[in-house]
A = this chain, B = another copy of it.
Amino acid sequence: MLQAQELSNFSFGRGNRIISPEIKGDSVTFRLNANYATMVSLYGNWLPNYTDVIPMTKGPNGIWEVTIAAPEPEIYTYNFLVDGVSTNDPVNFMVQRDGTRYLNMLFVPGDRSKNYNETAHRGTVSYKWYDSKQLGINRRLAVYTPYGYETSNKKYPVLYLLHGGGGDEEAWLSMGRAAQILDNLIEQGKAVPMIVVMPNGNPNQQAASTIGLKNTALDMRAPENANAYVKSLVNEIIPFIEKNYRAIPKKSARAISGLSMGGGHTTSATILYPNTFDYICPLSCGIRESDHLDADLQGIKKAGYKLYWIGCGKADFAWPGTEILDQALTRNGMEHTLYSSTGGHEWKNWRLYLNTFAQLLFK
């Protein structure tokens, strides 16, 4: 029988024997085969400014190369600039999608990043469609069920985990390593086995852009459509999940968290529906001061909750809004945790926050 290559139209200009990135001890070497380029440099998101690049040097055989000190253990993204054009590393299979961009991954192993790795016992990730009458479209969401879900008869608590602006239902899985983080925490006995639901938070959109999808006909800027997504989350997505999964249909078994725009969805959903979630974890978002903020928070206080956990980096532009939320919770006598980290509005923080607060849920 023929053992043929699926890859029939193999593209040229790609050096297949190159290793990139190569981590050796405390250094990382990046390489690119680009014999006809006049200038090649490296951009990585560990660099202090987004305009920083590291020049690469052309060596024999047209291979451009640079060796740098490895950044601290984490997952980073990088790409090359070839004569001014951003290009991926053709020999690095590891890619994350951030919105409309595909970025190469640099995984620096270490204590902080060890739960971002694959582990022995893994849950299932499913992409499922549900009908949204409120938004007038059917929509896709991603669902993580923990290892052993299929063979147990147990019911599980549910974390609703929301992405930020520019993201979609794949963001927490791709950039956020949510499945790996939960797999690791559950396997280590540090987190309760739980279902994690990652919906698409762009109410005009059916799913992460793909061929033939339609947008909703609703005008999302119209006043009557304010909070359309949050309403759909509570009135449509939660019932859909509790019908289709062995989910515990109780406030005490529901958590909500989101980053940036998804953190806004988290604060809005818990203010609008104070009887729905016992665990509330807004990340990198904060809140706006308003004349109804105290009344809004009192609604949550009155309904009761088990955890109000806020994560934000001190260099994040959302830090001032986070301080507003922190102070408002304090002046309303509401127990909460403000978990501050270094760094800003970035996935390295959001992975860290998930890895931290997931250990506190449903306990």
Residues of A near any B CB (own CB < 8 A): 1-14, 32-39, 43, 45, 50-51, 77, 79-88, 90-91, 93-95, 98-102, 105, 107, 116-122, 124-129, 138, 140, 147, 150-151, 163-167, 171, 180, 206, 209-213, 244, 259-261, 263-264, 267-268, 284-288, 317-318, 321, 344-346
Contact = CB atoms under 8 A, between A and B. Distances in A.
Given A13-B81, A33-B85, 8 more contacts: A1-B321, A3-B165, A4-B345, A36-B85, A117-B212, A118-B206, A122-B140, A151-B244
A118 B211 contact: yes
Contact of A34 (B77, B85, B117, B267): B85
A208 B195 CA distance: 24
Nearest to A49: B9
Contact of A12 (B8, B11, B86, B321): B86
B128 A84 contact: no
Contacts of A50: 8-12
A82 B79 contact: no
12 contacts: A2-B263, A2-B321, A6-B99, A6-B164, A6-B171, A7-B98, A7-B99, A12-B50, A12-B86, A87-B87, A116-B211, A126-B127
**Minimum-distance CB pairs A-B, first 10:** A36-B84, A6-B164, A87-B87, A1-B264, A117-B212, A126-B126, A118-B212, A4-B260, A6-B166, A122-B129
B1 A267 contact: yes
Contact of A166 (B2, B5, B129): B5
Number of identical protomers? 2
A2 B317 contact: yes
Nearest to A183: B129
A84 B37 contact: yes
A357 B16 CA distance: 36
Q: Give the interface centre of A35, A122, A288 by most chain B CB atoms within 10 Å.
A: A122
Nearest to A119: B212
Given A4-B165, A79-B11, A99-B6, A124 B129 contact: yes
Nearest to A1: B264
Contacts of A36: 39, 83-85
A212 B113 CA distance: 12
A260 B2 contact: yes
A14 B126 contact: no
B126 A268 contact: no
Contacts of A87: 82, 85-88
B171 A287 contact: no
Contacts of A88: 87-88, 102
A231 to B, nearest CB: 16
Nearest to A46: B9
B1 A210 contact: no
Contacts of A124: 126-129
